[in-house]
Chains A and B, each alone.
Chain A
Amino acid sequence: MTWVIFGLWAAALAVLVLHTLPSWERRGGKRGAAVTTVLLLGLIGVVILEVVDPKKASAWWARVRDFFQRFSRGFDNVGGTRFVISGLLLASIALFLDPGKDEVLVRTGFYALAALGLNVVVGLAGLLDLGYVAFFMIGAYTVGMLTESNATVHPAILAPWIILPIAIGVAMLMGLLLGTPTLRLRGDYLAIVTLGFHEITRQSAKNINAVNGSRGLVGIPHPDITLAGLSLRLAGLILLLAGLGIIATAWINSMRAWRKQASARDAHGMGDPSPVPGGAGSAPAPQEGSSGGLGGIVSGFKGQFQRSLLAGVANAIALFLVTAIGLATAVFAITQLLLRGDALVIEFGVLDPQKYWFVIAGFMVVALYLINQLKDSRIGRAWEAIREDEVAAATMGIPVVKYKLYAFAIGASTSGLAGWVLATKVGFVNPNTFPLLNSILVLCAVVIGGIGSSVGALVGAAVVFGLPELLRDIGREEIGIGALQFNVLTGRIAIFGLILVVMMIFRPGGLISSARRRAELGGMHDMDDEGVTDPRTVEARDG
C-alpha cells in the first residue's frame, strides 16, 4: 500500500517540478530551464552515450533540449494549484520516513524556514546578513516571555497561536531597529554589524536575569489547538469552504489561462485544426470567435495538448489532483466534522514530530507563496535593481534604503516565525541553542542551495542540516591515516566552509540557479593577467 502512495507522491512531485519550469524559464532564459530539466531527467543516459559515441550524443542533446523547451513553454502558470500541491508534497514527506528521522525532518524544517527568509535578504536584496539567527532567538524568547515559562518577567500570558503574529512582529521590529542605522552603509559593514548584533543578543540573553541568563526559559507550552467553544462543526465548515475554495481557485485560474491562450492563438492566426467529436460540453467554435466564452476555454484546453502532449497531460493531472484533494477535504469535512458536535482539540506532544512538520510545511508554503508574489512585484524588481547596481537604482528614483529595510524586516520575520516553532516544539530556550555557527550554517544553506532561489534555500537547508544528521552513523568514524584523523561529522563545518569558497569560484549561483544569477555573482569578465578583457572568452562563456 505504501508503494502505491509513494508512486502517486513521486508522480505528483514530478508534476510539481515540471510545473515550476515557466518561472525558471522566465528568470534564467530558455537555455537555463532546459538545461536544468535535462539535468534532472535525462543527463545520465546522454553522458553515457557521450562516452560511447560523442556525435550521436550531441544530436540527442539537441533533441532533448528542444523537447523540453517546447514542453516548458506549454505549461500554464496555474498559481494556486502549484502551491497547494507543493504544500501537500512537503507535508507528506513525514509519512515516508522512519520514526527517528521525523525529528531530523522537523529540525531541518526550522532552519529551512530560516533559510527561506535569509534567501530574501541575501538573494533578493543582496545584503549579507551574518547574524541571522539572532532574530530566530528573538522570536523564540518572545514566545518564552509571553507564555507560562519560568521567566521572571511576563508582559502577558497568551496562548501559543496568538503569540505567533506577535513573535513575527517583534522579530520584524528588531530587524527594522537594526537595519535603520546600518543599511545606509556598505554591504561589507552590514555583514560585520549583523555578526556583532548576533553576539550582542546572545550575550545579553545570557546576562539578563529576566530571561534567566544561561539557564534559559523552560516550560514553554506546546501549540495545542484547543479552540474552547469552537466546535468541530465550525471547523468542519471552515474545512469545507477551504476545500471548495481550492477547487474554485484552481479551476478559475486554469480556465482564465486557457481562454487567454485561445485568444493568443487566435491573434496569431492559429485556430483549432482538429475538432474533437462530442467534446467537453460544447461544439467546436468557429475560428474567429473561439476566444469567447466557453468555446475559448475549451479550445484553450485542447490547445495545451497540441502544443506539447506532456505539458497538457501534466497540467490535466495537476488540476485533477487539486480537484480530488479539494473534494476529499470537503467530503471529510462533511462526514466527519459537521456531523459531530465535539470540541476541537489537537494536541502537539513532544514526541510527535509529524504534527509539527505539517505546521512547518504549511508555513513554508505560505512563505513560498508570499515571497513569490514579492519577487514579481515592484518591490522585487526594486531589489533586483539594487542588487545589480545600487547607484544606478538610486539614480532611477528607487528609495534604496527603504527597500533594503523591507527585505531585512521580511527576512527577520521569517526567522522569528521559525523561532516560534522551535520554542513551542522544544519547550525551552537558552542562549546556547543559538550559536553564531548556526547563522553561518543557514547562510551556507542559502548559498549551496542557490542564492535567490526559494526552492534552493529549502534544498540547501536539507543538505546542510538534514544530510549530516542522516549520515550520522557514517560520520562516527574518523577517516584518515594515523595522525591525520578527520572526523566528518564535527569537521563538516570546515567542509562547508571549503564548499562555500569553491562554490563562489566555480558555481556562484549554487545548486539551483539561473545563468543570469551566476553571471551576476561570478562576474562577466574573463581577464588575463594584464587585466585586459578578452572578448573571445566573454562570448564563449556559458552565459
Chain B
Amino acid sequence: MATTAGSLNTRSLVGYGATALGIFVAVWFIGSSLDCNTNLFGPLFVTGLILGMIYALIALGYTMVYGVLKLINFAHDGIFMIGAASLFYLFGSWLGWDHPFTGIGLILVLIVGFIASGLASGSAAVLLERLAYRPLRRRGAARLSFLIAAVGASFFITYLFQQKFLLGTQEHNFPAIMETQRTLTFLGAQVNNRRVLAVLVAIGMFLFLDFFVRSTKTGRSIRAVAQDLDAARLMGVNVDRVVATTFFVGGFFGGVAGFLYGLVFSKVAWNLGFIPGIKAFTAAVLGGIGNIRGALLGGVALGLIENVSTMCVGTEWKDPIAFSILVLVLVFRPTGIMGEGLSAK
C-alpha cells in the first residue's frame, strides 16, 4: 500500500529501516537525557517497545481495512479482544492447558495459540464484514451509516463479552503457558522471554505480510483494490473476496496481538480492546493510514513516546498524551510519517 505521496515514503526496506531506526534512536536519546526519574527510563523504554509492537499489530487491522474500504473499523477493538478471549477459553476451560510448558511442548502450545487466536479473530472479522458492512456497501450507503454501524458492532461485541456467560465484568488471568525467564537485559531493564517472543513474532509477521502484499497475487489484488476499487473490479479482481481477505488478515493480526498481550501482561477482560484500540488507531494514523509499514512504525513510535513521556509526568497522563498525539498528527501531518494522501477529501 505504499504510495507516491509523502516525502518519507520509501519503497525500499532500507529506507524504511532507517526511518524506524531514526525514531528509535531519537526517543532513546531524548529519553535518556531527560532529567526526571532516570532510573525508570530503561523499563519504560522496553515496555514502550513491547506495547508498541502490540499496537502495531492491532493498527494493521485498522490500516488495511481503511486502505481498502476507506472505513474505520471501530469494531476492531472487539476483534482484538476476541483473540485474547479465545485463548482464555481454549487453553483455560477447554483444553486445560493452564500450566507452564517447556521445550517442544511449549513450541507446540505457542503455535496452537498463534493459529487459534488468529483464526478466531480473523473469522470474527470476516463475519463482521459479511453481516454488517457488506449490506451497506451493496447499497452505496452514506459514510455516516458505515461509521454508526461500526460503532454499533464494536459495542455489541464488547458488551456481549461483558455478559456473565462470557467474560463477565472482572479481569481474568491469561493461562500461564510459559514460564517467565529473564532472558536478557536491555537498557538496564529486565526483558523476559515472553517479551522477546512478542517482539520476534510481531516483526516476523510484518516481514511476512510485506512479502505477501508485494509478491503474491492476492497481495497485489489487495493493493489494487486499495488504489482504485472500481478499476480493480474492471480488471477482474473479485472485490468482495479481496475485502473479505483484508478483513481476515487484519483480524488475524489483531488476534495474535490479543494472544501476545495476554502473554505479556497476563490479563484478559471484556474491555481489553477499548483503550488499545484507540491507541492503535492513533498509531495507524501516526504511521500513515493505509500504509502497512506505517502501522509498524507508528505503533512502535506511539508506544515508545507514550511510555517514555510518563517518566516526567506520571502514568495517569499516559492516555491523554496518546490522544493528544493523535490530535497533533491529524492537525499537523494528517498523512502520517510514511505518508498516504488522506486529509480532508
| B85 touches A (CB below 8 Å) | no
| A523 touches B (CB below 8 Å) | yes
B70 CB contacts on chain A under 8 angstroms: 188
Which of A193, A196, A206: most chain B Cβ within 10 A?
A196
Stretch at the interface among B102-110, B133-141, B180-188: B133-141
Q: List 30 A-B contacts (CB under 8 A).
A: A128-B148, A182-B330, A184-B343, A185-B344, A186-B342, A188-B70, A188-B147, A191-B74, A191-B147, A191-B151, A192-B278, A193-B327, A200-B320, A200-B324, A440-B155, A444-B152, A486-B163, A493-B162, A494-B156, A497-B152, A497-B153, A501-B132, A504-B141, A504-B146, A505-B136, A508-B142, A520-B142, A522-B142, A523-B141, A524-B140
Q: A498 to B156: give the CA distance in the assembly, Å.
A: 6
Task: Please determine whether B163 and A485 come into contact, CB atoms closer than 8 angstroms.
Answer: yes
Task: Please determine whether B151 and A206 come into contact, CB atoms closer than 8 angstroms.
Answer: no
Task: Please determine whether A531 and B344 come into contact, CB atoms closer than 8 angstroms.
Answer: no
A491 CB contacts on chain B under 8 angstroms: 159-160, 162-163
Given contacts A126-B144, A189-B330, contact A527 B345 (CB under 8 A): no
Q: How many A-B residue pairs have CB under 8 A?
A: 179
Interface string of A512-543 (1 = CB under 8 A from B): 00000000111111110101000000000000
| B211 touches A (CB below 8 Å) | no
Partner of B155, one of A187, A193, A500, A522: A500
Q: A526 to B326: give the CA distance in the assembly, Å.
A: 37
Q: A391 to B344: give the CA distance in the assembly, Å.
A: 10
Task: Please determine whether A521 and B323 come into contact, CB atoms closer than 8 angstroms.
Answer: no
Task: Please determine whether B330 and A181 come into contact, CB atoms closer than 8 angstroms.
Answer: yes
A182 CB contacts on chain B under 8 angstroms: 327, 330-331
| A195 touches B (CB below 8 Å) | yes
Partner of A493, one of B159, B327, B342: B159
Least distance between B232 CB and chain A CB atoms (Å): 11
B240 CB contacts on chain A under 8 angstroms: 529
Chain B's closest residue to A508 (CB) is: B145
- Report, as a range, how many residues of chain A touch the other chain: 35 or more
A199 CB contacts on chain B under 8 angstroms: 275, 278, 319-320, 323
A→B interface (CB under 8 Å): 122, 126, 128, 130, 181-182, 184-189, 191-193, 195-197, 199-200, 203-204, 206-207, 390-391, 440, 443-444, 447, 451, 478, 480, 483-487, 490-491, 493-494, 496-501, 503-505, 508, 520-527, 529, 531
Which of A126, A128, A498, A504: most chain B Cβ within 10 A?
A504
| B217 touches A (CB below 8 Å) | no
Task: Please determine whether A196 and B152 come into contact, CB atoms closer than 8 angstroms.
Answer: no
Least distance between A272 CB and chain B CB atoms (Å): 49
Q: A486-B163, A493-B159, A500-B153 are in contact. List 13 more A-B contacts (CB 8 A).
A: A128-B144, A186-B345, A187-B143, A193-B326, A203-B320, A440-B155, A447-B148, A485-B163, A494-B160, A497-B156, A501-B131, A501-B149, A522-B142
| B72 touches A (CB below 8 Å) | yes
